[in-house]
Amino acid sequence: MSGQALVFAGLDRPEVWEIQLPALKPHEVLVETAYSCISPGTEMRCLAGKQDGARFPFIPGYSLSGRIAAAGHRVTLNRVISAAYWTLWRGENCRFENL
């Protein structure tokens, strides 16, 4: 399965890339993003090369809203709510191994 992602390809180079999505594991959900926040803080520092640890290329952002496009067979509503909260709190990628 493929999708599109905003990618910070290099210094001051935001681009939209077609990406391959990995197969869902039994406890994962795929969220189709409707809205994403690109903050004037973290993401803009990354794009300008001023954020420690940022390496190009990467997909920015950790705050989003969207709809569940697919779910693994072990996903329950409680797990989805926990995953959404955990994603926003941690500010990391959305692939979790131990929900």
Residue 40's region, left for phi above 0, alpha for psi from -120 to 50, else beta, is alpha
* pLDDT digits 0-9 by tens, 15-34: 999 988 889 889 888 888 88
Spatial distance between the Cα atoms of 31 and 97, rounded to a whole number of angstroms? 16
pLDDT tier at 95, thresholds 50, 70, 90: very low
Sign of the Cα pseudo-torsion (75, 81, 86, 92, in order): positive
- Residue 8 CB neighbour total at 10 angstroms: 23
* CATH code matching the domain that covers 2-90, chosen among 3.20.20.70, 3.30.70.260, 3.30.450.20, 3.90.180.10: 3.90.180.10
Q: Which pLDDT score, from 0 to 100, does residue 53 have?
A: 82
* pLDDT digits 0-9 by tens, 33-82: 888 877 788 888 889 999 888 889 988 877 777 888 888 898 876 655 55
Q: Yes or no: say if 70 and 24 are a contact pair by the CB < 8 Å rule.
A: yes
